[in-house]
């Protein structure tokens, strides 16, 4: 059996029909002054179907999950603005009035009937996507409990709407057992409790940048004011006079918006003091990720050291940074790359006869943090090299085999310029630098090995060409020959010499040594023997 599929082309006509039928009933009820309970239930059912069908239409036609947090927040503000604008225009056009002595509230004019229908449906058309947007925010970093509480809220809200439609009584939250509205109060209290639980689910705020947190905090203050006055300004009398279902839906949504926006404002305010630190951590993670990507794709040592200091300084934000490396096969240090050092400071690096900061780090094999370098400090000589150094951090670059490769330093112009977090970040970059250098070294060795293998392969081919490609036929004697070298090439040698007087010369030799050098000697020996064999035909004389 084929599953039933609802064409999206039918959604809009059905939505229009579900809008027209309750609207026609409201006009009939206004002019006839009749209130038929069965027709009331039918009208309420049509309104509920309108909301459900519109929700399904949005889910099928638009993707809210693919949008970023920023896009969803902009959509939230846009929908709220559209709702306010529509209400203002409708009020100017229809100037509604209601009899509030009765419950539900009764429209006093036909324009009020039209206004109630328009506002009720506009509320559904804007608040359903607002709720979908809020669901996306709540589901950010979701868990199983997120789904459970959201479904519980939907079920409790549906129960509240159905109870309100059946009892057609006010929400008082007095829990009077003799009042039919007690069911409304029970369900509504459950809804409010679940709304407060959902209001704590705003982890999306954590991942905003500091600038976004500050911006959204001030926007949230305006939004809270706008949402708080939304019910009295837009829905207080109009929606309930049209439909209990729409009125309860709007009421619950309004509670949800007020509580959630309030909690978001408080959460944003609490995050502002630590926003800068969070941004720093995110920048550090992004920078380390970029460095890891560079390490896997860049094997030029000169580019690596330059990128390392550049990327590290973007995060640590030091006044100066430099990378010291040992020269190859030497214990002499030199500045391989630097940030904010002059050419003179780079060339004048290293002061003989002074206590070396690098030596102390090398001896302890631990990073160092100096937050106050003064004239009497053991490392005061650094100020002779660079006068504006007041605090400095340094980390060693030590390979996996324990071999020191160099040191990474950062300096600032003011005292107590660094924190332990800065030192930890510098160590992370130093470790990444070690990995980069090891990778570059391994790749270089791999290329060298491949080059040698290719050279040996070519040498072996040349050697094979120097040996006879076939054995000669001589007086019915079958002759076979074979040589196997220990390496790609070697010094094993044999050859045949055909003399004119029906003689066959056989030469067998083994050049001293192995590898390419033996092969070269073998080629030289072949040339000499072939040259002398034309003159001498006796083995003793030839040798």
Taking residues 113-137, report their average pLDDT.
Answer: 91
Task: Flag whether pLDDT at 474 surpasses 80.
Answer: no
User: Is pLDDT above 50 for 2?
Assistant: no
Domain end position, chosen among 232, 258, 274: 274
Residues with Cβ within 8 Å of residue 39, at least 6 apart in sequence:
25, 29
| 19 lies in some domain | no
Residues 429-450 have pLDDT tens digits of: 888 888 877 777 777 777 777 8
Q: Kindly state whether residues 314 and 403 are assigned to the same domain.
A: yes
- Given the DSSP bridges, would you call strands 106-107 and 320-326 parallel, antiparallel or unpaired? unpaired
Query: What is the rounded CA–CA span in Å between residue 103 and residue 90?
Result: 23
The answer to whether residues 316 and 268 belong to one domain is: no
Burial class, 264, CB count within 10 angstroms (exposed 0-12 / middle 13-18 / buried 19+)? buried
CB 176 within 8 A of CB 255: no
Q: Report the alpha-carbon distance of residue 304 to residue 301 in Å, rounded.
A: 5
* 136-160 per-position pLDDT tens digit: 888 877 777 888 888 999 999 999 9
pLDDT at site 178: 54
Task: Over range 68-91, report the average pLDDT.
Answer: 90
Model pLDDT, residue 425: 83
- Answer whether 0.85 is exceeded by the pTM: no
Q: Write down the pLDDT at residue 118.
A: 94
The last residue of a domain, from among 383, 412, 445: 445
**Count of domains for the chain:** 3
For residues 423 and 479, membership in a common domain is answered with no
Average pLDDT, the chain: 81
Show the domain range for 477.
Answer: 467-542
Query: Which pLDDT score, from 0 to 100, does residue 258 have?
Result: 95
Could you tell me if residue 20 is inside a domain?
no
* Same-domain pairing of 398 and 257: no
Phi then psi dihedrals of residue 232, to 5 deg: -65, -35
Say if residue 258 is in the same domain as residue 376.
no
For position 421, what pLDDT does the model report? 82
Q: What is the CATH number of the domain that holds 366?
A: 3.30.450.40
pLDDT number for residue 181: 65
Cα–Cα distances in angstroms (integers) from residue 310 to residues 305, 321, 322, in the given order = 9, 9, 10
pLDDT band at 352 (very low <50, low <70, confident <90, very high): very low
Angle value at C-alpha 352, between 348 and 358, nearest 5 degrees: 85
| pLDDT tier, 211 (very low <50, low <70, confident <90, very high otherwise) | confident
Residues 495 and 526: beta-carbon distance below 8 Å: yes
Measured in residues, the chain has a length of: 543
Q: Are residues 68 and 215 in the same domain?
A: yes
Q: Are 211 and 321 contained in the same domain? A: no
Distance CA 410, CA 425 (A): 11
Flag whether pLDDT at 350 surpasses 90: no
**Are 181 and 217 in a shared domain?**
yes
The pLDDT of residue 173 is 59
Q: Ranked by mean pLDDT, which of 458-467, 509-518, 524-533 comes out on top?
A: 524-533
Whether the CA torsion 133, 136, 140, 142 is positive or negative: it is positive
- pLDDT at position 354 over 50: no
Q: Residue 42's CB: how many other CB atoms inside 10 A?
A: 14
Phi, psi of 353 (to 5 degrees): 80, 0
Residue found by looking up tokens 């809200």 in the block: 157
C-alpha distances in Å from residue 430, one per residue of 289, 417, 441: 14, 20, 16
């Amino acid at each position: 059996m084929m599953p039933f599929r609802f064409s999206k082309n039918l959604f809009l006509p059905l939505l229009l029909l579900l809008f027209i039928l309750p609207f026609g009933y409201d006009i009939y009820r206004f002019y006839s002054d009749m209130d038929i309970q069965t027709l009331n239930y039918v009208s309420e059912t049509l309104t509920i179907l309108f909301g459900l069908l519109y929700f399904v239409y949005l889910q099928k036609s638009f993707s809210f999950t693919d949008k970023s947090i920023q896009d969803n927040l902009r959509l939230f503000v846009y929908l709220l603005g559209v709702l306010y604008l529509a209400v203002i225009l409708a009020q100017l056009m229809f100037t509604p009035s209601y009899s509030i002595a009765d419950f539900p509230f009764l429209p006093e004019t036909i324009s009020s009937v039209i206004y109630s229908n328009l506002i009720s449906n506009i509320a559904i058309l804007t608040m359903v996507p607002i709720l979908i947007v809020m669901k996306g925010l709540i589901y950010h970093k979701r868990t199983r409990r997120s789904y459970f509480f959201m479904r519980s809220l939907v079920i409790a809200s549906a129960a509240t709407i159905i109870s309100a439609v059946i009892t057609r009584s006010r929400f008082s939250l007095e829990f009077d057992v003799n009042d039919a509205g007690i069911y409304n109060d029970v369900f509504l209290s459950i809804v409010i409790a679940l709304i407060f639980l959902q209001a704590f689910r705003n982890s999306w705020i954590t991942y905003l940048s500091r600038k976004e947190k500050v911006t959204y905090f001030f926007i949230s203050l305006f939004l809270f004011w706008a949402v708080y006055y939304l019910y009295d300004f837009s829905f207080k009398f109009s929606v309930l006079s049209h439909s209990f279902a729409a009125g309860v839906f709007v009421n619950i949504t309004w509670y949800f918006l007020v509580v959630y926006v309030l909690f978001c404002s408080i959460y944003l305010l609490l995050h502002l003091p630590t926003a800068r630190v969070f941004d720093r951590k995110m920048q550090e993670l992004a920078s380390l990720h970029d460095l890891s990507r560079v390490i896997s794709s860049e094997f030029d040592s000169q580019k690596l050291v330059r990128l390392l200091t550049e990327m590290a300084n973007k995060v640590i934000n030091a006044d100066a940074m430099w990378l010291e490396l040992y020269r190859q096969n030497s214990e002499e240090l030199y500045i391989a790359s630097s940030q904010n050092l002059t050419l003179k400071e780079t060339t004048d690096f290293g002061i003989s006869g002074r206590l070396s900061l690098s030596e102390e780090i090398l001896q302890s094999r631990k990073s160092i943090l100096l937050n106050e370098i003064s004239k009497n400090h053991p490392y005061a000589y650094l100020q002779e090299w660079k006068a504006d150094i007041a605090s400095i951090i340094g980390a060693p670059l030590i390979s996996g085999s324990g071999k020191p490769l160099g040191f990474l330093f950062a300096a600032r112009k003011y005292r107590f310029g660094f924190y332990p977090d800065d030192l930890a970040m510098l160590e992370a970059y130093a470790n990444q630098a070690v990995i980069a250098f090891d990778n570059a070294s391994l790749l270089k060795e791999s290329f060298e090995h491949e080059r040698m293998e290719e050279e040996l392969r070519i040498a072996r081919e040349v050697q094979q060409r120097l040996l006879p490609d076939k054995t000669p036929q001589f007086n019915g004697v079958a002759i076979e020959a074979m040589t196997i070298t220990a390496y790609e090439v070697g010094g094993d040698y044999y050859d045949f010499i055909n003399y004119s007087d029906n003689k066959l010369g056989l030469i067998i030799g083994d050049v001293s040594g192995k590898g390419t050098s033996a092969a070269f000697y073998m080629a030289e020996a072949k040339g000499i023997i072939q040259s002398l064999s034309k003159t001498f035909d006796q083995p003793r004389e030839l040798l």
